[in-house]
Amino acid sequence: MNKKIFVEDLGRRDYKETWDYQELLFKQTLDQKVRNRREDTAQPTQNHFLFVEHPHVYTLGKSGDIANLLVDEDQLAAKGATFYKINRGGDITYHGPGQIVGYPILDLDNFFTDIHKYLRLLEETIIATLAEYGLKGDRSPGETGVWLDVGTPFARKICAMGVRASRWVTMHGFAFNVNADLGYFDNIIPCGIRGKAVTSLNVELGVPQVDLEEVKQKLLKHFKTLFEAELIKEKTEA
């Protein structure tokens, strides 16, 4: 099993461009798995982890309800936002500046073949990172992602998740609000869940900004430990 994961920070990048890049890496891994089976070889498949910040964008998962987008095309344009219907699980979510988006493209045959365990470990990566800032992140029964004050009237989501998997290869991932403009969430029913708020790390800490690079390093530390992986950082061409 190949537990090496190539880590790439794409900086701020258009959603569609990043989605295409994910699809390329995803297809390369799937194609290698098909060749291995067809030719009875054991060439290792590669694993990737992408960090990115997106310009304002709303994305709707394949099982989502378009009614959860509360603005029309003209209003989207006025807000400088775009919209895509995509092939991950989950409903509607928002990505934008100040949010750390993580896209692990892993061959789970290299780790464990259990998609529920995979999601729980992604959540645990966020929970462990929040703990370093003195916050108690938690899971909400029946709802993916990471929340604060679960089970109270003040429950609020700080990290959304939605993944796709085929032949145990994953794509898409998590969106962690660090310095996010929460006003953009007013234009949707986040994840199709009514009556629950959304928050951001800087709001919870009562500071204007949290160092994004510091948060990324904490995320990688916990991700590496939880997945028992070796991380290899790659330079990204501008």
Mean pLDDT for the stretch of residues 85-107: 90
**How confident is the model over 179-216, as pLDDT tens digits?**
999 999 888 876 555 667 899 999 999 999 999 999 99
Smallest Cα–Cα separation from 131: which of 201, 213, 207? 201
Please count the helices (runs of H) and the strands (runs of E) in the chain. 5, 12
Q: What are the chain's domains? A: 4-234 (3.30.930.10)
Smallest Cα–Cα separation from 168: which of 231, 122, 104, 232? 104
Q: How many CB atoms lie within 10 A of CB 218?
A: 18
**How confident is the model over 3-59, as pLDDT tens digits?**
999 999 999 999 999 999 999 999 999 999 989 888 877 889 999 999 999 999 998
Let me know: does 182 contact 198? Beta carbons within 8 Å: yes
Is a pLDDT exceeding 50 seen at residue 238? no
Catalytically active residues are: 191
DSSP letters for 50-68: EEEE-SSEEEE-TT--GGG
pTM of this prediction? 0.93
pLDDT category, 128, cuts 50, 70, 90?
A: very high
